[in-house]
Amino acid sequence: MANAPIPMIAGNWKMNLFHNDGHALANDIAEKMLGRVGPSVDVAICPPLTLTGSICAFLSATPLRVGAQDCSPLQTGAHTGDISAEMIANLGCACCIVGHSERRRDHGETNQVVHAKAESVQRTRMTAIICIGETEAERNAGKTLEVVTKQLQESVPEGSGSANAVIAYEPVWAIGTGRTPTNAEIAEVHQHIRDLLFEMFDYDGYAIRILYGGSVNEKNANEILRVPHVNGALVGGASLKADTFWQIIEAVPKPSEVSAPVRVKA
């Protein structure tokens, strides 16, 4: 059994929180992290862009990382309202979410756009958190693995690896609904993603983190984070309160509790 990757818990604040509440939340989580004793875990928060610069500045000396929720695929120029990955990196961000299903839904983002965004994130040396996941209709039609395969193969750039890419499997129907797949369903998809990453990136495919996202909370985190090939969580609603987000971080298993069998290439 190879060493499992260090788990990651990322909070996606989406379009929530103004200055005071956002700063207080970031501060609370950073304080808890400074006093934490427990298994290694990378923790990131992804505030709305209005707060990113100021939160990056005051968290710079703490282990809490800051990410963005989206970026333009373009580097510079006449693109009113857009923000490039370079600008986000320049604020001090460590990572940027791309291809979230809400962006795919609200802004018609295709796998090709997501691929271009991930590449621009990786050019800056930030980590791209690349989101994929099936809709409820696709799951009911038995197409989950087919959909996830196409999204992964078309959205993840060739130059990806464990140093610059994280995959987030977020079933669209589980986001913000309080519904989650069964552990067996999560295990099936994460194993499938792991196999695809192995095909695409050889043994480094085993070190690329695969996060689960969709209605993760302080009650179900313990079980979900122990599903094989679940290397952490991308958390929405439950990341907006320090207590619930912290309980999810505390639910991260010790390396000895994680089973993630590695295949050998024929």
**Site residues, ligand 13P (CB under 6 A):** 12, 100, 170, 175-176, 213-216, 234-238
Q: Which amino acid is at 134?
A: E
User: Does residue 170 carry a catalytic annotation?
Assistant: yes
CB of 100 to ligand 13P, least distance (A): 6
Annotated catalytic residue within 119, 170, 218, 229? 170
Measure the CA–CA gap between 165 and 147, rounded to whole angstroms: 20
Instruction: Name which of 249, 218, 257, 253 is nearest 36 in CA terms.
Output: 249
Which is closer to ligand 13P, CB of 127 or CB of 215? 215
Of 69 and 84, nearer to ligand 13P (C-beta) is 69
- Annotation says 100 is catalytic: yes
Within 8 A by CB and 6+ apart from 66, the residues are 26, 44, 45, 46, 47, 52, 55, 56, 59, 91, 92, 93, 94
Shortest Å distance, C-beta 120 to ligand 13P: 20
Chain-centre distance for alpha carbon 202? 21
Of all residues in the shown chain, the one whose CB is closest to ligand 13P is 236
Shortest reach from residue 75's CB to ligand 13P, in Å? 25
Using the minimum distance from each CB to ligand 13P, give the nearer residue, 227 or 238: 238
**Alpha-carbon distance 227 to 236, whole Å?**
20
* Active-site amino acid positions: 100, 170
